[in-house]
Amino acid sequence: MTYYSPSELSQRNGKLMQEIWIAYQGKIYDVSSSELFKEGKHYEHESGRDLTAEMIDAPHWDDVLNEFTVVGFLK
């Protein structure tokens, strides 16, 4: 598995690069196929970032990420 820096992750926001990635608990997920991240944003949550702290307030469990591919790890 590849390790990506926060800077490299930030480029995968659906704008700078086509991929839409988010990080959670050190893993990086490709959420490009998610309708909820269609524009690179899910409500106020921006892609291309570590969303670990923001998931605490989410109205769902972190198991929703199981449907997405882990593409690497955050450095």
CA distance 61 to 48: 20
Residue 35 sits in which domain range?
2-74
Domain harbouring 66, CATH code: 3.10.120.10
Residue 64 has pLDDT above 90, yes or no: no
Residue 58 has pLDDT above 80, yes or no: no
Strands of the chain (E only): list them.
Answer: 2-4, 21-24, 27-30, 41-42, 45-46, 69-74
Q: What is the mean pLDDT of the chain?
A: 87
Residue 66 has pLDDT above 80, yes or no: yes
pLDDT of residue 1: 80
CA distance 71 to 38: 18
The Cα diameter of the chain in Å comes to 30
Token pair belonging to 28:
């990086």
Residue 14 has pLDDT above 80, yes or no: yes
Q: How many domains does the structure of the chain reveal?
A: 1
Q: What percent of the chain has pLDDT over 70?
A: 88
